[in-house]
Amino acid sequence: MPLIKSQTAEPVTEEARKSARDCAGLVAQLADANPTARRWAARDLADCPNAAAVLLDHLKREPEVSVREVILTTLTALGDETAVAGLVDCLRSEDAALRNEAIEAMRQLPDAMAPIMRGLLADQDPDVRIFAVNILESLCHPDVETWLIEVIDCDPHVNVCGTAVDLLGEVGSMQARESLLRLKARFANEPYIRFAADLALERLRDA
């Protein structure tokens, strides 16, 4: 039978690390012409002090999407104040892909997001408020329902409320009932809000 050969006893290339993985070296490699080197630098920087600031600074200039993805993943793993502030800034970006990557990253950081969540939900820009509600979609935090109820009680923008009511269908309890009824009355001429509020109401069941 024709052989399928393993060329070497050790099947994988044991390539020597090109440069020392010291932090200064990693920062320099973020500017390497080769995207593979940049991705590895962005991964390994997770172990360096002040990494979030360095990565955020580079994120704005990085043209290659695969490197940006790794930077976002590392920022998620760091999850410190600097990282979160940088992710929040991404919400104001014109770049839809970057915004969505940042939203996904922030969903993984319930403890870091909780203290700033109300501020984001009250942002002047309705788009930022919608993105803030999007963050709540998968956020593992006990206050998610409370925040959503506050949104549908107070937010004047139909699409911010529309996004919030979608999530209340999943996480809402009987606590949300009165607010959902008020929301329906407030946007009586919007078939979508009526549809979404009815759907959410149907799914509430007392704990």
Partner 1 sequence: MPDPVPVDPTISDADFQKFREFFYRKTGIQFDLSKRYFVDKRLVERIEATGTGSFRGYFTLLRFQVNGEELQALTNLMTVNETYFFREEYQFQCLVNSVLPEIVARKTDRRPVRLWVMPSSSGEEPYSIAIYLLERWAGIHHWDVEIIASDIDTRILAQARQGLYSTRSVQHLPARYLQQYFERRADGYQICDDLRQSVEFTRVNLAERTDTRPYRDFDVIFCRNLLIYFDDVSRKTATETFYDILKPGSFIFLGHSESMSRSSSLYKVRKFPEAIVYQRPLEER
Partner 2 sequence: MKRILIVDDAATVRLYHREILETANYAVEEAMNGIEALEKALQSPFDLYLVDINMPKLDGYGFLRELRGQDLPQAPAIMISTEAQANDEQRAYIAGANIYLIKPVKPDRLLTQVRLLLGDVYR
Binding site for partner 2 (CB under 8 A): 96-97, 99-100, 103-104, 127, 130-131, 134, 158-159, 162-163, 165-166, 169-170, 190-193, 195-196, 199-200
48 Cβ partners below 8 Å, 6+ apart? 23, 26, 27, 54
The answer to whether 202 contacts partner 1 (rule: CB under 8 A) is yes
- Residue 22 contacts partner 1 per CB under 8 A: no
> For residues 2 and 191, which CB has a smaller minimum distance to partner 2 in the complex?
191
Nearer to partner 1, 18 or 182 (CB): 18
x-or-dash string of contact with partner 1, 102-141, rule CB under 8 A = --x--xx-x---------------------------x-xx
Helix runs in the chain, H state only: 23-29, 35-44, 51-59, 65-78, 81-90, 96-107, 110-121, 126-136, 144-154, 158-171, 177-186, 191-203
Picked from partner 1, partner 2, none, the partner binding residue 134 (CB below 5 to 8 A depending on kind) is: partner 2
173's CB contacts (< 8 A; 6+ apart) are 145, 204, 205, 206, 207
